[in-house]
Amino acid sequence: MKNKIKVTVTLEANNVIRYNYKIDGEFSKYFTKKREYCISYSDNIEEVPKSISIIPFVTNVLPLVWMFDAELIVDEIDKSFFESINDFKKGYQKMYPQIKFNGKLTYNKLCDNTYKENKKVAAFYSGGLDAMSTLASHIEEKPILINIQGSEIKLKYDKSLRKIRKNLEYTANQFNLNIVFIKSEYREVINEKMINKITKMLINDNYWHALQHGIAIIGHGALLAYKYKLNKIYIASSFTQGDKETCASDPSIDNYVKLSSTSVVHDGYNFSRIDKAENVGKLVCKYNKNVKLRVCFEDFRVENCCHCEKCYRTIYELIAKGYDPNKFGFLLKNNFHKQVKNDFKYRLGLEYSKFWNEIKIAFNEKNELKNNPELNWVLTYDFEHCNKKSKYLIKYTYAIIRRIKKIIYLVRER
């Protein structure tokens, strides 16, 4: 039986979009048993046509459709978006030549929803360093901030999500910006454990990171693009021009997506991560505001744990650029830097050593850091060989402890 998905979309009360879909063929095993899922918006979307509101579903499953030469059947689809599919598909094909991107999207009606866009812009906003840097770069444009809940933390953990929402609203209010919250079940559709076996074999990466998350996130913005007649939507880059890493969010993909008349911009690709820290620091100084970065996913808490590699990395990037991390949502306790040094010596491994090499270079340029006995260990530490087998037992034991703590925390939050 041919691999096939047929989907219908309905708008329900309280600005909820519901997708009902049927899956045929062998590739159905790469989906969960759900055959419907919902997306809710904190903004009014009653006037958005079905040909636009179908887009989040399409972008969520399209890479899987391509991989398994499937047919995705919809009733109607936005003309501009449909015509952009082949353009952003080329980005995938160039990135992963070992995968055959076949399959097709068929429709009953192609709808022209073009509009005269205005100067309004939006930006996807998670509260992380990348997203905050994009906000800093475009603060004068007064972007509408878009936050999607359901990506890292499942929607059933409502207490945690409410706390995160409060923190994000705090930053939006600091700069007098509108923020729209989207609750989405989109990560509950695909059987990631099953499909990851395939992607690990083909491209040595997981499906979410390598193929799904970029356009899946962008698709959620289609309804707001139509509602506000946006000129463009920014999505922050995770990597920097010249990096060798592959990722589902990439300018060769994102910049070619069209949401009716709205363009998508993969933002900050010309900045290194340490440049982004400086960008955020300048924003805080210029407007004399405090911001709450949320870079930590150690235990799904709202607060940064200040003891994982990503927290350490961001803290030291801010220090390298002359900023006090305590003003950016971090809490540095006594003997903090001694703890960081010890953690690198005995516990931590690195996925991307280049970030710490950038920190080392920045430290070396400032005498006050070079001469600081708490910090200058960075200058002599070999980050390239941090992740050695001798650390694996400690590393994975610690990971198990973190996982147990995370489960306990989330159970309490339900």
- pLDDT tens for each residue of 94-137: 999 999 999 999 999 999 999 987 899 999 999 999 999 999 99
Number of domains observed in the structure of the chain: 2
Asked if residue 237 is part of any domain, the answer here is: yes
Q: What is the pLDDT of residue 389?
A: 45
Residues 311 and 227 in one domain: no
Same domain, 218 and 331: no
Same domain as 403, residue 255: no
Do residues 210 and 323 both lie within one domain? no
Residue ranges of the chain with per-residue pLDDT less than 50: 389-391
Q: Is 309 in the same domain as 257?
A: no
Residue 272: inside a domain: no
Cβ(355)–Cβ(362) below 8 Å: no
Q: In sequence order, what are the residues at sequence separation of 6 or more whose Cβ sits closer than 8 angstroms to the Cβ of residue 44?
A: 15, 227
Give Cα 206 distance to the centre of its chain. 14
State the Cα–Cα distance between residues 234 and 214, nearest whole angstrom. 12
310 and 390 inside one domain: yes
Residue span of the structural domain in which 392 resides: 295-413
Alpha-carbon distance of 131 to 123, in angstroms, equals 8
Please check whether residues 167 and 29 belong to one and the same domain: yes
Cα dihedral value 362, 363, 365, 366, nearest 10: 130
Q: Is 235 among the domain residues? A: yes
Tell me the CB-side half-sphere exposure of residue 370, using CA atoms within 13 A.
6
**Together in a domain, 63 and 182:** yes
Which of 267, 283, 308 is the endpoint of a domain? 267
Find the angle CA(49)-CA(231)-CA(39) to the nearest 5 degrees.
40
Residue for token pair 């501009």:
80
Length in residues, the chain? 414
Kindly state whether residue 140 falls inside one of the protein's structural domains: yes
Phi and psi (nearest 5°) for 34? -60, 140
Would you state the pLDDT for residue 414? 62
In a domain, 91, yes or no: yes
Distance, CA of 113 to CA of 50 (rounded, Å) = 11
Same domain, 355 and 258: no
Does residue 64 sit in the same domain as residue 151?
Answer: yes
Per-residue three-class SS string for the chain: CCCEEEEEEEEECCCEEEEEEEEECHHHHHECCCCEEEEEECCCCCCCCHHHHCHHHHHHHHHHHHHCCCEEEEEEEEHHHHHHHHHHHHHHHHHCCCCCCCCEEEEEEEECCCCCCCCCEEEECCCCHHHHHHHHHCHHHCCEEEEEECCCCCCCCHHHHHHHHHHHHHHHHHCCCCEEEEEECHHHCECHHHHHHHHHHHHCCCHHHHHHHHHHHHHHCHHHHHHHCCCEEEEECCCCCCCCCCCCCCHHHHCCCEECCEEEEEECCCCCHHHHHHHHHHHHHHHCCCCCCCCCCCCCCCCCCCCCHHHHHHHHHHHHCCCCHHHHCCCCCCCHHHHHHHHHHHCCCCCCHHHHHHHHHHHHCCHHHHCCCCCHHHHCCCHHHCCCHHHHHHHHHHHHHHHHHHHHHHHHHC
Chain segment 329-374, per-residue pLDDT in tens: 999 999 999 999 998 888 787 777 889 999 999 999 999 999 999 9
Let me know whether 223 and 301 are in one domain.
no
Please report how the helices 273-287 and 353-364 are oriented relative to each other, as an axis angle in degrees rounded to 10.
60
Q: How far is CA 162 from the centre of its chain?
A: 19
Instruction: Note the pLDDT of residue 346.
Output: 81
CA distance 107 to 82: 10
Instruction: Find out whether 337 and 374 touch, Cβ atoms under 8 Å.
Output: yes
**302 and 260 in a common domain:** no
Structure tokens at 149: 């809940």
Phi, psi dihedral angles at 79 (to 5 degrees):
-65, -45
CA distance 328 to 311: 11
